[in-house]
């Protein structure tokens, strides 16, 4: 897809990612500050327990949202690059994300900026949802600089 293919209001959805405890543990191992709860998460006897701190599912959800946004862009063969986040992220993480939940991202074209000769900018509302309840667990925006069709 190229810049001319995007219209305000267009919707794109990712297939989704199932939250599994092992992935959250991998995420926690990458960052400091989780040592006090990492042992609990690694305990098979406690594998059925929900997440104990909002920051863990929140951080994991943020990384999942970013990955799912990029997956949508790649699946649609968009020729472009991600721009630094220019809009503030509204709200906080929802602490109800637990193992077994499926997270997916819905991109809605919010703004189409004609830009320059070869590139335009498309801004998406990029919300991460929990499948089944349709609840936004991580809201946000993403902008991409997207190549225009060659004039010919």
Chain segment 65-124, per-residue pLDDT in tens: 888 888 898 898 988 888 876 444 445 566 577 778 899 999 999 999 998 889 999 999
Residues 6+ apart with CB under 8 A from 151: none
Q: In this structure, what CATH number is given to the domain that contains residue 134?
A: 3.10.129.10
**CB neighbour burial string for 43-72, b if at least 16 within 10 angstroms, e if fewer:** eeeeeeeebeeebbbbbbbbbbbbebbbbb
The residue that leads in pLDDT, 135 or 54, is 135
Residue 107 counted as domain residue: yes
Domain with 102, as residue range(s), is 3-147
**CB neighbour burial string for 106-126, b if at least 16 within 10 angstroms, e if fewer:** bbebbebeeeeeebbbbbbbb
pTM above 0.95, yes or no: no
Residue 86 counted as domain residue: yes
pLDDT for 50: 61
Q: How many domains does the chain have?
A: 1
Residue 93 counted as domain residue: yes
Structure tokens at 41: 């998460």
pLDDT for 93: 64
pLDDT for 36: 66
The residue that leads in pLDDT, 63 or 126, is 126
pLDDT digits (tens, 9 = 90+) for 15-52: 998 988 778 777 777 766 666 667 766 777 766 666 55
Residue 152 counted as domain residue: no
Question: SS3 for 135?
Answer: strand
Residue 87 counted as domain residue: yes
Residues across the chain: 152
Comparing 4-8, 53-57, 67-71, which segment has the lowest mean pLDDT? 53-57
Residue 13 counted as domain residue: yes
């Amino acid at each position: 897809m190229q810049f001319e293919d995007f219209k305000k209001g267009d919707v794109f959805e990712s297939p989704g990612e199932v939250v599994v405890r092992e992935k959250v543990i991998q995420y926690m191992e990458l960052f400091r500050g989780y040592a006090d709860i990492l042992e609990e998460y690694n305990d098979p006897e406690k594998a059925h327990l929900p997440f104990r701190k909002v920051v863990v599912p929140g951080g994991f959800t943020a990384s999942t949202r970013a990955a799912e946004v990029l997956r949508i862009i790649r699946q649609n063969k968009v020729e472009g690059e991600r721009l630094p986040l220019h809009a503030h992220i509204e709200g906080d993480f929802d602490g109800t994300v637990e193992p077994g939940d499926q997270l997916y991202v819905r991109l809605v074209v919010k703004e189409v900026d004609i830009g320059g000769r070869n590139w335009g900018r498309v801004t998406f509302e990029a919300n991460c949802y929990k499948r089944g309840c349709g609840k936004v667990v991580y809201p946000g925006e993403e902008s991409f600089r997207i190549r225009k069709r060659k004039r010919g």
